[in-house]
Structure 1
């Protein structure tokens, strides 16, 4: 791997994860361990040979490890304990990106699975008044669960459990609400959000900026 040749924590961090695609591979593995094919599917535009190279580099650096997949004998990739510590700087970059996201997706690809990392990053500092709030999300038609407890927010696959409310919207609007760049009242007034169920529960976590 290329090196900046500087005895600086930032430079050495970038030596390890600063190459193109590396942090997006880490983003995918923050969602959970993944097989090679799953990583390719979650990283559109990344050539298979480059993915193999990046995984090899990250594994050599101690960021990624291989393990046996939960189903079958296939190999899955997972973050090491040290690699998982990248969640904090990645979440900070997601929060920092808010002004860059305002213009919307344009022609960029969007995968609802990326919300597993983005929503907790944007909602981490919010604390609902009740013990646990579970919101069903239909984001561009994809079903997810946003669960907010005292330990913080998580995004999970929809599994049919009871929810306090269901929110139907687009990724652009949902991320704007989570970032506090858009108010729930305005989004509803524009017809950009539909809420079924306990509106107060949705307000507790997605009220947006005052």
Structure 2
């Protein structure tokens, strides 16, 4: 068997099936590849940042995976940050993986016994966790912003004209501010901990009115939403 850390593109085995899923897995089905893509969906990262945010990956394996993804047109070196060392970002083709990856993340939150107390967690994963949890059938009719501080990572959900965006910075006009740690955030998203339990145990703090909290919770699927009106 070819060792992962020294594998070369020419040694990669294909499924050899005339199928879109098989073609997808030929490109991103190797171990660690989707996690690299997860990191770059948050934003461009330098090589050392990727290495830090992917605990357990070897430096040779990360370099090989990045070379492969670059050859496949999924990743490129960031043209404006080349003076700061090797910085990588997704291409437009790579960005098309956002919805599939969010769907897989949403599915994974419901896998039984999928998390352990010893598992690594990073605050920036909260950005994608929020995107994965968003229920597009529960977008509020009001324009407002909800800010999240997860460890040292701040971002917010902006609702504008029933359109949603997740922005990697604070929101001065936020009607709701949520502060917690990364593990608590994942526990809430996976349903292992309710927001109420997190507040009572002081693992989460909230600033904002109850109506904004209800709208945000429904948007993230943490509360059942009103049923659509039958036509």
Which ranges in structure 1 are unaligned for 5 or more consecutive residues? none
1:70 deviates by: 3.4
Which ranges in structure 2 are unaligned for 5 or more consecutive residues? 1-11, 225-231
Deviates more, 1:92-101 or 1:9-18: 92-101
Aligned-CA RMSD value: 2.6
Once residues 42 and 35 of structure 1 are traced to their aligned partners in structure 2, the CA distance between those partners, rounded to angstroms, is 11
Equivalent positions of 1:115-194 (< 5 A) are: 115-125=126-136, 126-135=138-147, 137-139=148-150, 141-149=151-159, 150-158=162-170, 161-178=172-189, 183-194=194-205
Q: 2:52 matched to 1:41?
A: yes
Q: Give the structure 1 partner of residue 119 of structure 2.
A: 108
Once residues 170 and 34 of structure 1 are traced to their aligned partners in structure 2, the CA distance between those partners, rounded to angstroms, is 22
Q: Give the structure 1 partner of residue 108 of structure 2.
A: 97
On the 8 A contact 2:176/2:207 being kept in 1, the answer is yes
Once residues 152 and 78 of structure 2 are traced to their aligned partners in structure 1, the CA distance between those partners, rounded to angstroms, is 29
Change (3 A) 1:119 1:151: same
1:143 deviates by: 4.0
Change (3 A) 1:4 1:143: closer
- Superposed CA deviations along residues 118-170 of structure 1, whole A, max 9, x for unmatched, are 211111423123212232x233x324122231321414134x73432322334
Change (3 A) 1:175 1:151: farther
Equivalent positions of 1:1-40 (< 5 A) are: 1-40=12-51
1:24 deviates by: 0.6
Aligned residues: 207
On the 8 A contact 2:70/2:76 being kept in 1, the answer is yes
- Rg bigger for which structure? 2
Deviates more, 1:169-178 or 1:44-53: 169-178
Structure that is richer in strand per residue: 1
On the 8 A contact 1:182/1:209 being kept in 2, the answer is no
1:37 deviates by: 1.4
1:114 deviates by: 1.1
Once residues 206 and 177 of structure 1 are traced to their aligned partners in structure 2, the CA distance between those partners, rounded to angstroms, is 11
Once residues 51 and 212 of structure 2 are traced to their aligned partners in structure 1, the CA distance between those partners, rounded to angstroms, is 36
